[in-house]
Amino acid sequence: MIDINLIRTDSNCIKKNLKKKFQDYKIPMVDEVLELDERNRRLKVEADDLRKKRNEYSEQIGLLFRNGKNEEAETLKEEVKSINEKLVTYESEEEELSLKIRDIMYQIPNFIDETVPLGKDDSENVELKKYGEPTQYSFEVPYHTDIMEKLNGLDLDSARRVSGNGFYYLTGDIARLHSAILTYARDFMIDKGFTYVIPPFMIRGDVVNGVMSFNEMDSMMYKIEGEDLYLIGTSEHSMIGRYKDTIIDESTLPLTLTSYSPCFRKEKGAHGIEERGVYRIHQFEKQEMIVICKPEDSKEWFEKLYNYTIEFFRTLNIPVRSLECCSGDLADLKTKSIDVEAWSPRQQKYFEVGSCSNLTDAQARRLGIRVKSDTNKYYAHTLNNTVVAPPRMLIAFVENNYNEDGSINIPDVLKPYMGGLSIIK
């Protein structure tokens, strides 16, 4: 959420940002906020005047009673009663206007960084750099489900009977590989100086509203029926929510955290070949990076975070590339985002395995996360990035470490987590 003072002082800059994000349909919202805000501020002034008058009358009433002027005192008491009735109406209207303003402000996107390329959708995202030569084989690489099923590591049919499409059973060495990758990712981030956290896997509605846009919530979140609780789509949600309505001492920044959680997503609109198997699913596990920092440090942390993911994948013999999200592909709270994509030898193309985002103070404003320095208080900047999210990541792993006989090589960094196993046969 942006600062409403920007709308009051320079609404045109908000409208220009909406055009850059190809959200022209939201431009009328800016003028609507201005109108509602003006009404609300005028109402507050009138209410404050009434409160001041009420206080004055209250003092006079006591004085009049002491001086025996009971009739005049009773008249003023009626005036105070009338003022109180008006204030009830004013305060109710103030609350209603404030909620309307907040709901509209939640839909106005964060300012995009000046370096973000302009484009309507993900087809206009820009490749930044490739890391590692794309793996090429002289033989055909099977589909990832076929590879894992032949290793007795994947059972989709049973999962469909038990839970429906978008779920899976991992078994044997493939299940062990899945856990090994997550454990390695945990230690990888701890070695980078991050604090390991296991957060709650459900969050309340006010936290959901604080960490993501309405469109994201509708397409992603599962709600617990009859309760104000949602299953998290990523641990970032509960990790940032942890600091809701808190004031952080500046001397403790940056907060660098790495969190494990299962993730649950509706994945509305999933389609095509990449949605079969374990590419786009309703349940998965993930190791995440979270940083809360001073505003002047967030750009530097952004660079560090996505490069950690690149380094992680390269240690597993997986070629990757970085891809900058264009303005139209950025979620509303993000000012800048870079995806990390892994190479698929079977499909001869890259696919997303992680996303790094700088949200500046957008989440902090919604959730009331402030920092106290020696001289003032200000909103923190928040960033998040995927370390690894199997089982989707397993697609890249099994394809890039595949042997013609159907076996899978285990890179050296994973062997300690696989009991010394060097190959899955």
User: What was the pLDDT predicted at 64?
Assistant: 86
> Considering only CA atoms, which of 241, 229, 153, 161 is closest in space to residue 199?
241
Give yes or no for a contact between 262 and 225, defined as CB atoms under 8 angstroms apart. no
Asked, for residue 349, whether it belongs to a domain, the answer is yes
> Considering only CA atoms, which of 188, 220, 365, 359 is closest in space to residue 288?
188
User: Are residues 250 and 318 part of one domain?
Assistant: yes
Asked, for residue 112, whether it belongs to a domain, the answer is no
Q: How confident is the model at residue 279 (pLDDT cuts 50, 70, 90)?
A: confident
The encoded tokens of residue 255 equal 């907060």
Residue type, 147: I
Question: Which DSSP state fits 136?
Answer: -
User: Are residues 412 and 353 part of one domain?
Assistant: yes
User: Are residues 258 and 126 part of one domain?
Assistant: yes
Write the DSSP string, 326-353: PGGGS-TT-SEEEEEEEEETTTTEEEEE
User: Are residues 101 and 147 part of one domain?
Assistant: no
User: Are residues 18 and 150 part of one domain?
Assistant: no
User: Are residues 172 and 198 part of one domain?
Assistant: yes
The encoded tokens of residue 89 equal 């109406």
- CA distances 140 to 78, 136, 189, 394, 405, Å, are 90, 10, 35, 18, 11
Backbone angles phi, psi at 355, to 5 degrees: -145, 130
The CATH code of the domain that includes 302 is: 3.30.930.10
Q: How confident is the model at residue 239 (pLDDT cuts 50, 70, 90)?
A: very high
User: Are residues 412 and 286 part of one domain?
Assistant: yes
User: Are residues 170 and 36 part of one domain?
Assistant: no
Asked, for residue 110, whether it belongs to a domain, the answer is no
* Mean pLDDT (whole number) for 384-396: 95
**Total of domains in the chain:** 2
User: Are residues 348 and 209 part of one domain?
Assistant: yes
Domain end among 75, 105, 135: 105
Asked, for residue 248, whether it belongs to a domain, the answer is yes
User: Are residues 74 and 220 part of one domain?
Assistant: no
Domain end among 77, 105, 133: 105
Asked, for residue 291, whether it belongs to a domain, the answer is yes
Please, what's the largest Cα pairwise distance for the chain? Answer: 107
User: What was the pLDDT predicted at 213?
Assistant: 76
User: What was the pLDDT predicted at 199?
Assistant: 97
Asked, for residue 394, whether it belongs to a domain, the answer is yes
Domain end among 70, 105, 140: 105
* Mean pLDDT (whole number) for 149-157: 95
The encoded tokens of residue 260 equal 């494990």
- The boundaries of the domain holding residue 156 are 122-424
* Mean pLDDT (whole number) for 73-80: 88
Q: Where are the alpha helices (DSSP H) in 106-155?
A: 144-150
User: Are residues 130 and 20 part of one domain?
Assistant: no
Element at 264 (helix H, strand E): strand 255-264
User: Are residues 71 and 129 part of one domain?
Assistant: no
Residues 299-337: tens digit of each pLDDT = 999 999 999 999 999 999 999 999 999 999 999 999 999
The CATH code of the domain that includes 87 is: 1.10.287.40
Least confident of 22-36, 56-70, 192-206: 56-70
Mean pLDDT of the chain: 93
> Considering only CA atoms, which of 327, 382, 331, 323 is closest in space to residue 354?
323
Q: Give yes or no for residue 408 having a pLDDT over 50.
A: yes
Question: Which DSSP state fits 121?
Answer: S
Asked, for residue 213, whether it belongs to a domain, the answer is yes
Q: Give yes or no for residue 37 having a pLDDT over 60.
A: yes
Q: Give yes or no for residue 375 having a pLDDT over 60.
A: yes
Asked, for residue 113, whether it belongs to a domain, the answer is no
d(CA 236, CA 200): 11
pTM for this predicted structure: 0.89
Q: How confident is the model at residue 223 (pLDDT cuts 50, 70, 90)?
A: very high
Could you tell me whether strands 169-170 and 154-155 are parallel, antiparallel, or unpaired per DSSP bridges?
antiparallel
- CA distances 28 to 4, 12, 42, 335, Å, are 15, 12, 21, 22
> Using CB atoms within 10 A of its CB, is residue 226 exposed (0-12), middle (13-18) or buried (19+)?
exposed
Question: Which DSSP state fits 221?
Answer: P
